Amino acid sequence: MSDPGPVLVINSGSSSLKFGLYVEQDGQEAVRFKGSATRIGAEQGRLVVKDGAGEQVRAADVRQPSQEDAFHEAVRHLEELGGARPRALGHRVVHGGPHLRQHQALTPEVMKALEDATHFAPLHIPPALRLIRAAQQRYPGVPQFVCFDTAFHATLPEVASTLPLPRSVREQGVQRYGFHGLSYESIVARLAPQVPARTVVAHLGNGASLVALENGRSVDTSMGFTPTGGIPSGTRTGDLDPGVLLFLMRTRGMDADALETLVNRDAGLRGLSDGTSDMQALARDAAAGDAAAALAVEVFTRSIAKTVGAYAAVLGGLDLLVFTGGIGENSARVRQGVCERLGHLGIRFDARRNEAGAEVITTDGAPCPVRVLPSDEEVQLARHTRRLLRG
């Protein structure tokens, strides 16, 4: 089938929006324009657009009260830059609930299923739905597709996906779903065709998780029923004794909304440091002697190392560890704090390579190499969107 034309992909976050316009060249997705809108909801936001060579071609300080505003602003700039009208749109959706586990065309039935799944991810699904509706209004009649972060983890074995709860609860769809799937997919694609049999990938950003890969397939992952679980993130608790929530309900009278704000907005690195979730600032403050910042960094790196060790047990050893995500790619301090705890797994950490930002941060011939690789969720969205468009 001939090239159906450019595809526009939309990747929304809590306060940011990434987007890209892709065309097919020699059977591969090539970026025509790619950009991001940041500080959405703040008094002053920022929108940046780059061309296929990575050169910045547009930058603007603009107020973007919502994801929908950011989307319309991004599309306006793309059109001014000469971006062709997209033949299809692809949306990243964090969670589709128990019935939407595969990337697929956006139909009225899929929209209804997403609406019904809102209680599985109340912080993520409603804004995703609003953004989808804005895109449908902007591009009426243009095919649209949804790609789920949970889809990559549909390969989890029952022993990994099942939570220790009564059957009546599990039958409501309460299970381990896993997230950051598009990011992990992009790492597997980058490693292909020679993906090590026993690989752990650490996606470390404002949201942070790890995955155990057996021959490139997800067999365990740290986030569970929601993105709140697993290791601590920028503002999320990670795994937490449920008794803590019961204690707060009884002693402070906190309801579900208050608890949701606590575990998703006010905890994690922000809660530990008494104010910030920015790892660059935390590392700087820790080096200057700030005890709270140092504790936040140590809790974070220790949790990552513990999870890598657990996944080595699941996989029967470890052939490769990969760091990705904003923190994973840019924080030498975090990578060092993790790797120095894992020498027993064959990781021979090279501090000079790490500080220099090398792709491989272990010594030559180390039994388990450690690589630093950028993930690319947008190109994965483009690949899936074009595949689904062609049927």
Q: What is the pLDDT of residue 121?
A: 85
Query: By C-alpha distance, which of 77, 88, 85 is closest to 50?
Result: 77
Q: Is the pLDDT of residue 202 over 90?
A: yes
DSSP designation for 118 = G
Q: What is the pLDDT of residue 1?
A: 46
Q: What is the pLDDT of residue 42?
A: 86
Give the sign of the dihedral formed by CA 202, CA 359, CA 15, CA 156.
Answer: negative
Residue ranges per domain, the chain?
7-148, 194-372
List C-alpha distances in Å: 104 to 25, 39, 144, 388, 389: 23, 30, 9, 7, 9
pLDDT-based confidence at 2, cuts 50/70/90? low
Catalytic site residue from 149, 220, 285, 376:
149
Q: Is the pLDDT of residue 14 over 80?
A: no
Query: Which residue has 């995500």 as its token pair?
Result: 325
Task: Give the DSSP H or E segment for 12.
Answer: strand 7-12
Average pLDDT over residues 11-20: 87
Q: Which CATH number fits domain 7-148: 3.30.420.40, 3.40.228.10, 3.30.2350.10, 1.20.1260.10?
A: 3.30.420.40
Can you tell me the distance from the alpha carbon of 200 to that of 213, in angstroms, rounded to the nearest whole number? 6
Tell the burial category of 251 from Cβ atoms under 10 Å away from its Cβ (0-12, 13-18, 19+).
Answer: exposed
Per-residue model confidence as pLDDT tens digits over 248-304: 999 999 999 999 999 999 999 999 999 899 999 999 999 999 999 999 999 999 999
Per-residue model confidence as pLDDT tens digits over 207-261: 999 999 999 999 999 999 999 999 999 999 999 999 999 999 999 999 999 999 9
Rounding to the nearest 10 degrees, give the CA dihedral for residues 68, 69, 74, 79.
100
Query: By C-alpha distance, which of 261, 300, 293, 10 is closest to 145?
Result: 10
CB 292 within 8 A of CB 151: no
Alpha helices in the chain (DSSP H): 67-80, 108-116, 125-138, 158-161, 167-170, 181-191, 242-252, 256-265, 268-273, 279-287, 291-315, 325-330, 332-339, 351-355, 377-390
Query: Which residue has 């292909």 as its token pair?
Result: 192
Per-residue model confidence as pLDDT tens digits over 345-389: 999 999 999 999 999 999 999 999 999 999 999 999 999 999 999
CATH architecture type of domain 194-372: 2-Layer Sandwich (3.30)
Tell me the helix, strand and coil percentages in the chain, rounded to 5: 40, 20, 40
Chain centre distance of CA 42: 22
Q: Is 321 helix (H, G, I), strand (E, B) or coil?
A: strand
Query: Across the chain, what does the average pLDDT equal?
Result: 95
Q: What is the pLDDT of residue 41?
A: 87
Tell the burial category of 137 from Cβ atoms under 10 Å away from its Cβ (0-12, 13-18, 19+).
Answer: exposed
Lowest mean pLDDT among 2-16, 130-144, 300-314: 2-16
Is residue 149 part of the annotated active site? The answer reads yes
Per-residue model confidence as pLDDT tens digits over 314-357: 999 999 999 999 999 999 999 999 999 999 999 999 999 999 99
pLDDT > 90 in the chain, percent? 91
Per-residue model confidence as pLDDT tens digits over 114-141: 999 998 888 889 989 999 999 999 999 9
Judge whether 7-148 and 194-372 match in fold: yes
Residue with more model confidence, 330 or 39: 330
